[in-house]
Amino acid sequence: MTSSSGADNPPVRRVAIFGGTHGNELSGVFLVKHWQENGAEIQRTGMEVKPFLANPRAVKKCTRYIDCDLNRVFDPDNLGRTVVEDIPYEVRRAQEINQIFGPKGSDDAYDLIFDLHNTTSNMGGTLILESSRDDFTIQMFHYIKVVYYGYINIFLYLQTGVEVGPQPQGVVRADTLDKMRRIVKHGLDFVQLFNEGKDFSPCTIEVFKITEKVDYPRNKNDEIIAIIHPKLQDQDWQPLNNGDPLFLTLDGEVIAYKGDCTVYPTFINEAAYYEKKQAFVKTVKVKLTANHIRSSARNQNTP
């Protein structure tokens, strides 16, 4: 949901909560299944909140995906592909989801989607922001950071979502699930306040913006020959400076970071990204400012 500068915005009437986009990220799976049976805690006055299991076949097998990454096929080319017998399952599923909650970008699309993910990296509670110009979501993330009892990181990346870790694939941890649950609660509280007509003044947030994806060192056969250095492991969002250790070969050689500025690595040693040839991503800190927002419903309710 993107708001225009300084303008009244329509109220949020339909919200979806996706779990199981990746079938082995279990916090969202457990929460969505619970809310489908007992959704009282996520319901808010004046809006529909729909919990939805995004990739049920992958959830059943407790695997990230069946044929391909569901989170990477919501692009126009895949959404517009002709359905044939051998089309990948996740492409078909993305088309189904787009029809239920979209079509993407249309007036019929849901106003807001919370897409719940886990990571094996030590990223803590992380909010992922798709657009640096999305006033509504920036305001929501600012609100969550203020009211959440614990540190929240905001990451400017692929698409808006919630990422909480560390948690192994195929495992559910109570503390990780609780973080995710509270983030969703505060997000829904923000939407309710917005719908009730609360003014949200201009705000500024600090976010981490990706600058580069870094692969593991490899040999001529494309095999990994060095692993994440112990001093880098679990140091997501911490400053990385020139000369700091990155990788360690099995022969004991240390491979250091060479760079002319401080960066902040994240998704360090993420299990799902070995297949993507990604050891971590480098980010830099930037500040984003959101304009004042308010719901147009307030004017309708004002005598």
> Does the active-site annotation cover 270?
no
- Find the catalytic residue in 37, 90, 96, 163: 163
In terms of DSSP bridges, do strands 294-295 and 8-9 run parallel, antiparallel, or are they unpaired? Answer: parallel
Can you state the angle between helices 174-195 and 26-37, rounded to 10 degrees? 60
* Alpha-carbon distances, residue 9 vs 131, 241, 288 (angstroms): 17, 43, 20
**84, exposed or middle or buried, with CB in 10 Å at 0-12, 13-18, 19+?**
exposed
Query: Concatenated DSSP letters for 20-64?
Result: -SSTT-HHHHHHHHHHHH--GGG-BTTBEEEEEES-HHHHHHTSS
* Alpha-carbon distances, residue 92 vs 9, 70, 87, 172 (angstroms): 33, 10, 7, 28
Tokens of 138: 């920036």
**230, exposed or middle or buried, with CB in 10 Å at 0-12, 13-18, 19+?**
exposed
**Catalytic site positions:** 163
